[in-house]
Chain A
Amino acid sequence: MTSTKFDPRILKAPHPVPGAPDNWKRFFSFNTDAKVIGIQYIATSLLFLLVGGLLAMIVRGELITPPADLVDPTVYNGLYTMHGTVMLFLFLFPVLNGLNNLLIPTMIGAPDMAFPRLNAAAFWLVPVFAVLLMGSFFLPGGPAQAGWWSYPPISIQNPMGLFFNGEQLWLLAVALSGISSIFGAINFVTTIVRMRAPGMGFFKMPLYCWTAWGAQIIQLIGLPALTGGAIMLLFDLSFGTSFFRPEGGGDPVLYQHFFWFYSHPAVYVMVLPVFGIFSEVFTCYARKPLFGYKFVALASFGIVFLSLIVWVHHMFYTGTPNWMRILFMFTTMTIAVPTGVKVFAWVATLWGGKLRLTTPMLFCLGGLINFIFAGITGVMLGTVPIDIHVGNTYFVVAHFHYVIFNAIVLGVFAAVYHWFPKFTGHMYYEGLGKLHFALTFIGCTLNWLPLHWAGLLGMPRRVASYDPEFAIWNVIASIGAFMLGVAAIPFILNMVSSWARGPQSPPNPWGAIGLEWLLPSPPPAENFEDDVPTVINNPYGYGLGEPQVADEEYYIRRAQEA
């Protein structure tokens, strides 16, 4: 260790709000502390999980009987469009950005994000576009009704001919969400590349950081393409161009390329951090090192690369020429390999461990089982002939909900429980957590497993009414959906009561390994401040008896004394 002179101003992240309140009020201010912003993101997004869930339950209520009898079909179309939009842009992206804010600086020993003010700006865009999106419900003509894909020409039909319409607000909201995500991505990538603790080479970095890094690189490459497409769509809708309007020589399929070039990788933006969460949680509660750390880390970047060259598999039946279908079928199939490497590594990590079935572990185990299932249906959908039959049916709906809810959201819940004590300083109630898991797991299986069969029989997605032969699958699915609604109750109870009066949490309640667990719970404003530990060993050294950082005893003592 050499002692170096350094400028203390660099260590202190700039806080443009000096003396910002240290109580609940800070969560409603333009605070630049990543940990405050993280909690702002997570709380906001969980609120919108409820909104999106409510929309989903109306949708499932409509579908519990074959005819369109609960709401008008136009209302149904608006509801499912907004359900998808809210869940992706107001729940999943913000909740993962929240976790990034909490975990990345603490895991790599940085005092804050690289650009704290940009970080706060990225968060405060969320309420802005949330208001825009929710406001579109009250427009004459209602919100956007073209699905979250917003495919033209249906999305630019503008039936009432008004300049301000639901579709336009939808596009503006999505564009703002994109700007917010780009701000976030620049911040996260710079932070990971430039601000790691001494000694933390890339191959000593926790997997959550690897996967979040990969995910944010996808955002940087993919989002601009969608933005380009969205700008052109907005011009078609509002300013009389005809990029996607066949009447003026435009090409509706071009939009689909722009859209899926981003929106397929977007799934990996969401699932990669959850792979990171799996790696953290399985090692911690199986009390074992991660099996094949380097392979798992590199597989993340294999997925990043491949995710950018598979998008045409969403367009196997849009008239895509055959050579292109075959090419993209092969790239799509290849993506199963790095994903498989990860899955096998997790299972091998569990093997021979000392499993502790806490709430986060249960959520991750459930998420993993569902993810394997979703991967298998994903390979099925990747093959052209199967996709031609089941594409755009409920098989696809079931598949992507298996990925997005049954794997990703379960992983997000696991993360919320696992790091809850660290960032609130309170323990959660294990019993309520397990009840939440049981209701969620049974509910999500009931909801989406039966819909695979509805799809195989040929029930198209996005329908407000359907032929009676599909009724049985839909009744079961709706019961599952309502069960998921009930599952929110123990979760909310747990979060609110634990934070308000849960027992104090020690710095490292799970005996976990990682820089964040060397900090007090909750960590102070600038984490390690000017006393950043030097990393000397690989992460996840469970049972190896090697300290992860130099002078580990000192940091443990310091955290306990705080």
Chain B
Amino acid sequence: MTTTTNNKSPNVGAIVIIAVAVALNLVLAVLMARWSYSWFPPQASSAAPYVDDLFALETGIGSFLWFGLTGVIGWTLLFNRAPKYDESYGEPIEGNNRLEITWTVIPTVIVFAIAIYSMQVNDKLDALGPKQKYALGTDPATVAAVDPRATVGPIDVIARQWSWEFIYPDGVRSSELHLPINQRVNFRLISEDVNHSFYVPAFRLKQDIIPGSVISYSLTPTREGRFRLRDAMFSGAYFSQNQTDVIVESDEAYSSWLKATAKQPLQPGLSPGSDLYAKRLANGDKGWATVPPAPAPLVNDPGDASIPHDA
């Protein structure tokens, strides 16, 4: 491998152009990083600010790289084009070991720095507890690990094809998840049929729910409002309808809701799949095969799907 060394005096013009380009690129990268905060739903959990900061950092570094590299490619497109009928060659440089080592070492340092920072952010999220296998048909609560730092819960989150059911410690059942603000809440994630995923974009948190296992999961909501809870692991025909709302409210509102709901009789909760499946049967059962939806869960508070969500 030949190394071409340039012994000519430094080219001032080139240095100025490169310096200006790098400075411009840095400004652009910082602007992109700032802008990236607006690409997310509102921050509604203690985890969200950490995730958004990490994303902004990666957006900044990524933008610097992308604009830098496309800038160089753009430069060659503008100034290194062969004129028509020019059959000559470019300068036959075969490589430069110093440059190769530089662009191996610097990216290694950068990605490891990002990884170590991500590790710290991951510790801050501190959401995932142990996952315990249990034999289907036995009570998962007996094997589930309880999060000692949680002040609310454990709330059972039961996912089905295609409905959500939430069971609070005092036995209250609901179709929408009610949570008090600024308290660490512990869930037992349970699926009765296939894989589902507990995903609340405003919380920036997602956890798959695996049948045959119970997963202990904790988070702290930090913003009042009505946020969308979406099933994010494909679960069959009416997967896209398998959504409900998380209602984060003040401590008082939460406890009065619990008290009022405990007095409500059990009634069928939200089960958007059931309605669509009934419509499908009424239309002659057209389409490709699907399992029928699980019966709507019996809950004290069925919620109201028509209320618009905040995020």
Contact = CB atoms under 8 A, between A and B. Distances in A.
A354 B82 contact: yes
Given A145-B236, A467-B228, A543-B91, 18 more contacts: A72-B287, A147-B234, A154-B195, A154-B235, A287-B90, A289-B92, A293-B94, A294-B95, A321-B131, A329-B115, A330-B115, A336-B111, A340-B107, A348-B96, A350-B80, A356-B81, A372-B70, A386-B118
Given A351-B72, A354-B80, A151 B234 contact: yes
Given A154-B236, A347-B69, A333 B112 contact: yes
Contacts of B194: 153-154, 157
B70 A288 contact: no
A337 B108 contact: yes
A68 B280 CA distance: 13
A385 B54 contact: yes
B142 interface: no
A142 B237 CA distance: 13
Given A352-B80, A383-B115, A159 B291 contact: yes
B88 to A, nearest CB: 6
Given A77-B236, A319-B131, A457 B121 contact: no
Contacts of A386: 51, 54-55, 58, 118
Shortest 9 CB-CB contacts between residues of A and residues of B: A458-B201, A142-B288, A246-B212, A543-B89, A72-B287, A141-B289, A463-B240, A376-B62, A543-B92
Given A319-B208, A329-B118, A392-B206, A75 B111 contact: no
A512 B287 CA distance: 54
B307 interface: no
Contacts of A344: 103
B149 interface: no
Interface string A367-390: 011001100110110011110110
A292 B4 CA distance: 12
Interface in B51-91: 51, 54-55, 58-59, 62, 65-66, 69-70, 72-73, 76-77, 80-82, 86-91
A373 B59 CA distance: 11
Contacts of B152: none
A355 B100 contact: no
B51 A295 contact: no
A460 B199 contact: yes
A350 B70 CA distance: 12
Given A246-B211, A458-B230, A151 B195 contact: yes
Interface in A383-431: 383-386, 388-389, 391-393
A380 B66 CA distance: 14
Interface string B165-206: 000000000000000000000000000011101010110111
Contacts of A253: 210, 213
Contact of B136 (A247, A317, A372): A247
A292 B213 CA distance: 51
B211 A153 contact: yes
A5 B73 CA distance: 52
Contacts of A383: 54, 58, 114-115, 118, 121
B80 A317 contact: no
Given A341-B100, A354-B82, A456-B39, A329 B119 contact: yes
B135 interface: yes
29 contacts: A77-B234, A146-B234, A154-B235, A166-B289, A247-B136, A251-B212, A286-B80, A317-B197, A318-B210, A319-B210, A333-B112, A334-B111, A340-B107, A341-B104, A350-B73, A351-B76, A354-B81, A356-B82, A373-B66, A376-B62, A380-B58, A384-B118, A385-B50, A385-B122, A388-B125, A392-B197, A458-B230, A467-B243, A544-B94
Interface of B: 1, 39-41, 47, 50-51, 54-55, 58-59, 62, 65-66, 69-70, 72-73, 76-77, 80-82, 86-96, 99-100, 103-104, 107-108, 111-112, 114-115, 118-119, 121-122, 125, 127-128, 131, 133, 135-136, 193-195, 197, 199, 201-202, 204-208, 210-213, 215, 228, 230-241, 243, 276, 280, 286-291, 309, 311
B128 A319 contact: yes
Given A145-B288, A463-B240, A318 B114 contact: no
A345 to B, nearest CB: 8
Contact of A542 (B90, B121, B311): B90
A73 interface: yes
B232 A460 contact: yes
Contact of A389 (B51, B235, B309): B51
A317 B210 CA distance: 11
B286 A372 contact: no
A157 B194 CA distance: 9
A143 B287 CA distance: 11
A511 interface: yes
Contacts of A196: none
B283 to A, nearest CB: 9
A331 to B, nearest CB: 10
Contacts of A340: 103-104, 107
Nearest to A158: B289
Contacts of A238: none
